[in-house]
Amino acid sequence: MPSDTIASLRRRVAEIRWHHTMDLGGGIITPGKDNTPRKLARLQLPASFEGLTVLDVGAWDGFFSFEAERRGAKRVLATDSFVWQGHVEGAGKQGFDLVKETLHSNVEEMLVDALDLDLEKVGTWDVVLFLGVLYHMRHPLLALQSVASVTGKMLVLETLVDMLWCRRPAMAFYAGSEVAKDATNWCGPNPAAVVAMLRTVGFRHVEIVANVRPLPFRVARALWHRYKDGQQFWAGVRTDRIVVHAWK
């Protein structure tokens, strides 16, 4: 990449509020709040998407859309609504657009809410990525039903979970910003609820591939975020994140 191109790209990157941490080449890495490479390792995605179609729901900056393309997917569709329409302060679609331009990507894009996904709008996709979205849904089961309706083979779901002490399917409701100081977090299902909801909407085989971390890890993480961001300590202890693979 020519030096003047790198300088221009660096300036454009600096003007955007990034969520995903992405390597754009030329030594330029987007300053995303999310440790996306670490999350990618935890997702345990197939090494190759060759011959498959992939739908990324809630794409934001598009890291996972472009990663699916890099892994050989024959077609990728990135969808978003909440972020791309500017409902997250300082964020929008600028990051996605810049990465797509920089990578000369063929990833398709559509402005559509997760609850509005259906066969007529987007068709069926072999693999659907539903990452970091479920707990932002006011109607989580309905959202999973919409996602299931456009999943042809496999769903990869990553989500926050709560009520970890409860073995029965259960879900916490967040009326404010008690979790991560983020008022867009609405619900925290426990792992049993995630599995049960996925089976309810039609997935025959459901497997948690990355489960809740041990209590000492969650305590240490909660202390760190309490010190760094002023987040609620007990909310950090009682919650974690899981990754689920589900097949039709």
Residues 167-188 have pLDDT tens digits of 999 999 999 888 988 899 999 9
Give the model's pLDDT for residue 126: 98
**Average pLDDT of every residue of the chain:** 96
Give the model's pLDDT for residue 3: 76
Give the model's pLDDT for residue 28: 96
Domain spans in the chain, listed from the N-terminal domain onward: 44-213+241-247
Query: What whole-number percentage of the chain has pLDDT above 70?
Result: 100
φ/ψ (deg, to 5) at 83 = -75, -50
Give the model's pLDDT for residue 22: 97
Mention the CATH class of domain 44-213+241-247. alpha beta
Q: What pLDDT band is residue 1 in, cutting at 50, 70 and 90?
A: confident
Residues 82-122 have pLDDT tens digits of 999 999 888 999 999 999 999 999 999 999 999 999 999 99
Q: What pLDDT band is residue 52 in, cutting at 50, 70 and 90?
A: very high
Give the model's pLDDT for residue 107: 98
Query: What whole-number percentage of the chain has pLDDT above 90?
Result: 92
Q: What pLDDT band is residue 2 in, cutting at 50, 70 and 90?
A: confident
Residues 134-164 have pLDDT tens digits of 999 999 999 999 999 999 999 999 999 999 9
